[in-house]
Amino acid sequence: MNKREIHAKGGAADRLSAPAGASHLMGRFGDQLVPAIFLIALVITLSLVSPNFLSVGNFLDIARVVSIIGIMAVGMTIVILTGGIDLSVGSTFALASVVAASLIPGSFSDAPRILAFVLPVPFAILAGLLVGAAVGFINGFIIAKSRVEPFIVTLATMAFVRGLTYLFTGGFPTIFRPMPPLFEWFGQGYVFGLPTPTIFFALVVLIGVWITRRTTFGRSIYAIGGNEEASRLSGIKVQSIKIWAYTLMGALAALSGIILASRVGAAQPTAGLTYELDVIAGVVIGGTSLLGGRGSIMSTVLGVFILGVISNGLNIAGVPTYYQYVVKGLLLISAVGFDSYLRKMQRN
């Protein structure tokens, strides 16, 4: 008898021009649609331009390379969803990797040792992860309690933690003589034919997706980023959720750093310099808003793959260095530009 009942049942009232189901689907995957199409188009173009691009081996390389940035980007997505940002990831990446490496049996550095003991590989890795989590916790704690902009807080820790890393290493890399097999596996191994970094990345993504979509923690993250005050008034533990988000970010930066140390066979104090931009770029290209509250882990996965495919493809296609810069930048802008334009059109 009146429209309201019909609305409430979610059926197709004559005023609704699209059935709820379809728009529900669009709402779910609409965000990823355009970036995904762009990625596919990119892959097709690159395959046509250079036949060597399209091979299982190359795709595995891409998957492995993007994993390092990708693991951090999952954490960064969560942080950005809360309306924050973390610039210290590159430094955390380095600190965790040098600490973990220095604890691994067989590690060697020209600098005097700071920690005079070694641990079995899993514990050394765990120690590295804890260092990363601790940095993240400090970021989160200061951000949640002081209300200083996350940009500045993490900019400060970026410098501070880099300094710690230099002091810890004396500026020297830590190498392995030899590298314990378990640690070697950590970054260089294979599981079911897939490189371990990719496996870790996939796991992190799965967990990230589960957290953001299926847990109260994830829901709270979106809520805080969407409207912090309303969230607080709804009884959400804003401070502790923020602290957790940054702690998770720190641990993931550490994981990534430790994997890279294994992969390249050394932990370096300069590791991860400027990674923050790459990581944030991956998140933002995927479509997650820096303002918080809007975006998803799957978008980020697309974002880091877009970045990875561009830089891999340009090298494989043999584009000369300086032109690579130009093309890379233009591709990046068009990857997002097209999506933004469509959205803007849709809004009007």
Partner 1 sequence: QEMKTIGWSVAYFDHPVYQLMMKGAEKVADEAGCKVIFADGKDDPSVQASHIDNFIAQGVDGIILTPTVSDPLIPAVKKVNDAGIPLVMADRRMQTHGQPIKWEALVSWDMVKSGTIGGEQTVKAIGGKGNIVVVEGTPGAGSTIDRGNAFYEVIEKYPDIKILAKIPANFNRAKGQEVTENILQRFKPGEIDAIYYMADEMTFGGLQAIKAAGRLGEFKIISVDGQKEAMDLLRAREIDYEAIFHPDDQAVAVRILCDIVNGRTPDLANQTYEGRKMDLVEFEGMPWVRPTVYAVDKSNAHLPENQGW
Partner 2 sequence: MPAILEMQDIEKNFPGVKALRGVTFTIESGEVHALLGENGAGKSTLMKILAGAQGKDAGQIRIDGRDVDISGPLHARQLGIAIIYQELSILPHLSVAENIFLGRLPRMASMPWIVDWKLCCARARELLKQVGLDIDPLIPASRLKVADQQMVEIAKAVSENAKIVIMDEPTTSLTNREVETLFKTVRRLQEHGVSIVYVSHRLAEVKEICDRATVLRDGMKIGTVNVAETTSKDWVKMMVGRDLDQLFPKMPVKRGKEALRVEGVSSQKLKNVSFSAYEGEILGIAGLIGSGRSTLARTIFGAEARVAGSVNIGGKEAAIASPLEAISQGIALVPEDRKLQGLVLPMTVRENITLAKLGGISRVGQLNLRRESKVAAEYVQALQISTPHIDQKTINLSGGNQQKVVLAKWLYSDARILIIDEPTRGIDVGARAEIYGLLQQFVEKGKSVIIISSDLPELIGMSDRIIVMHEGRITAELAPSQFNEELIMTYASGMSH
Partner 3 sequence: MQAQSKAAAPLAVPQFNGLRSTLLARGGHQLIIIALIIIVGLAIYWIQPRFLSAYSIDNILRTASIYGIVALGMTLVIITGGIDLSAGSMMALGGALAAGLLGTAFGAANPLSFPPMVAILIALAVAASIGMLNGLAISALGMAPFVVTLGMMTVVRGLTFIFADFTVGSVPGSPITFMDSLFSWLGSGSFGPIPTAAALFLTLAVILSIVLRFTPFGRSIYAIGGDAEIARLAGINVPLVIVGVYALMGMLAGLGGVVQAGRLSSVSPLMGVGYELDIITIVVVGGASLAGGRGTVFGTVLAAILISLIDNGLTMMNVPSFYQYLVKGSVLLAAVILDQWYQRHRAAMATA
- Which residues sit at the interface with partner 3, rule CB under 8 A? 87, 142, 146-149, 151-153, 155-164, 166-167, 171, 227-229, 232, 238, 274, 277, 280-281, 284-285, 289-291, 321-333, 336-337, 340-341, 343-344
Question: Nearest 5°: phi and psi at 170?
Answer: 65, 15
- Looking at the Cβ atoms of 23 and 52, the one nearer to partner 2 is 23
Q: Which of 57, 55, 61, 93 is nearest to 197 (CA)?
A: 61
Q: Examine residue 178 and say whether the peptide bond preceding it is cis (omega within 30 degrees of 0).
A: yes
159 near partner 1 (CB under 8 A): no
* Residues listed for the chain: 348
18 binds, among partner 2, partner 1, partner 3, none (CB under 5 to 8 A by kind): partner 2
Supply the minimum distance, in Å, between the C-beta of residue 143 and partner 2: 18
Q: Which structure tokens are listed for 265?
A: 């066979």
235 near partner 1 (CB under 8 A): no
Adjacency order of strands within the sheet including 174-176: 107-109, 174-176, 266-267
- Looking at the Cβ atoms of 259 and 309, the one nearer to partner 3 is 309
Supply the minimum distance, in Å, between the C-beta of residue 111 and partner 1: 8
Supply the minimum distance, in Å, between the C-beta of residue 342 and partner 1: 32
- Looking at the Cβ atoms of 35 and 187, the one nearer to partner 1 is 187
Supply the minimum distance, in Å, between the C-beta of residue 156 and partner 1: 18
Sequence letter at residue 69: I
- Looking at the Cβ atoms of 219 and 294, the one nearer to partner 3 is 294
Q: Which structure tokens are listed for 112?
A: 């005097």
Q: Which residues bind partner 2 (CB under 8 A)?
A: 1-5, 7-10, 15-18, 20, 23-24, 27, 213-220, 222-223, 226-227, 229-237, 293-294, 346, 348
> In sequence order, what are the residues at sequence separation of 6 or more whose Cβ sits closer than 8 angstroms to the Cβ of residue 59?
none
Supply the minimum distance, in Å, between the C-beta of residue 6 and partner 1: 57
* Of the candidate residues 32, 43, 53, 121, the single one contacting partner 1 (CB under 8 A): 53
Q: Among 10-18, 240-248, 268-276, 333-341, which window interacts with partner 1 (CB under 8 A)?
A: 268-276
DSSP 190: E
Instruction: Classify the phi-psi angles of 265: left when phi > 0, otherwise alpha if psi is within -120 to 50, otherwise beta.
Output: left
- C-beta separation of 254 from 76 below 8 A: no
Supply the minimum distance, in Å, between the C-beta of residue 64 and partner 3: 23
53 binds, among partner 3, partner 1, partner 2, none (CB under 5 to 8 A by kind): partner 1
- C-beta separation of 80 from 97 below 8 A: no
Q: Which structure tokens are listed for 199?
A: 């496996």
**Binders in 307-336 for partner 1, by CB under 8 A:** 312, 315-316, 318, 320-322
Q: How far apart are CA 215 and CA 220, in angstroms?
A: 9
Q: Which of 278, 276, 297, 275 is nearest to 286 (CA)?
A: 297
* CB half-sphere exposure, 71, CA atoms < 13 A: 29
120 binds, among partner 3, partner 2, partner 1, none (CB under 5 to 8 A by kind): none
- Give the CA angle between residues 133, 139, 142 to the nearest 5°: 135
Other beta carbons less than 10 A from residue 323's beta carbon: 10
Catalog residues that contact partner 1 under the rule CB under 8 A.
50, 52-53, 55, 57-58, 61, 64-65, 68, 110-111, 166, 170-173, 175, 188, 260, 263-266, 268-271, 312, 315-316, 318, 320-322
